[in-house]
Amino acid sequence: MTTSAPARIPPPRYPAKIAMAGNALARIAALARPLVFTNGVFDVLHRGHVTYLEQARDLGAALVVAVNTDASVRRLGKGDGRPINSLDDRMAVLAALAAVDLVVPFDDDTPRALIIACRPDVLVKGGDYTAGTTAGAAEVIAAGGRFVAIPFLFERSTTALVERIRK
C-alpha cells in the first residue's frame, strides 16, 4: 500500500480583504474608483444581504463594507444576545464574498466620520433608508457623490430570523 503526502491546503484568501482601524484609510485610498461604501451589522448573513451587496458592488469599481463592532451593535439595541456572531466572524464572512473588496470595522454609533474620511463616490443603503436618514449622505452628496437606496428584492431580516430560531 502506498501513501501519499497530504494535499497542501492553501490558506483562505479573505484575510487580505479585512482592514483594521490603523490602516483602513490607506487601504481604502488604494481601491479603484468609483468607490462604493455601505455599512451595517451583518450579524447573520442571509440572501437579502448577499443580493444587496452584489447590487451595491455593481454601482462602482470597488465596494467597502463598514461593519459595526460588537459594542456598537449592543448600543443599537438589536436585542438580547446580539450580535450573535463576533466582529471577527462577521468580517470574515463578508470578506469571503466576491462582491466585497474591503471590510472595515467601526465603533461609533454611525460611520459618518469614516464616510467623510474615505470620500466614497456612492453611498449605498437598503431600501428602507433615504439620504435624509443616512449618516454621511449629506456629506457625500455635497462632495459630488451620490446616495443610492437599493430596494429590497427579498424581504429578509436578521432580527426576524433570530426570533424564528429562538422559538
Show me where the domains of the chain are located. Answer: 14-166
Q: What is the DSSP letter of 14?
A: G
**Tens digit of each residue's pLDDT (9 = 90 or more) over 15-60:** 899 999 889 999 999 999 999 999 999 998 988 899 999 999 999 9
Residue 156's pLDDT is: 62
User: Which helix (H) or strand (E) is 141 found in, with range?
Assistant: helix 137-142
CATH class of 14-166: alpha beta
User: Could you tell me the strand order of the sheet in which 102-106 lies?
Assistant: 102-106, 62-68, 35-40, 122-126, 146-150
Cβ-Cβ contacts under 8 Å for 45 (sequence gap 6 or more): 90, 93, 94
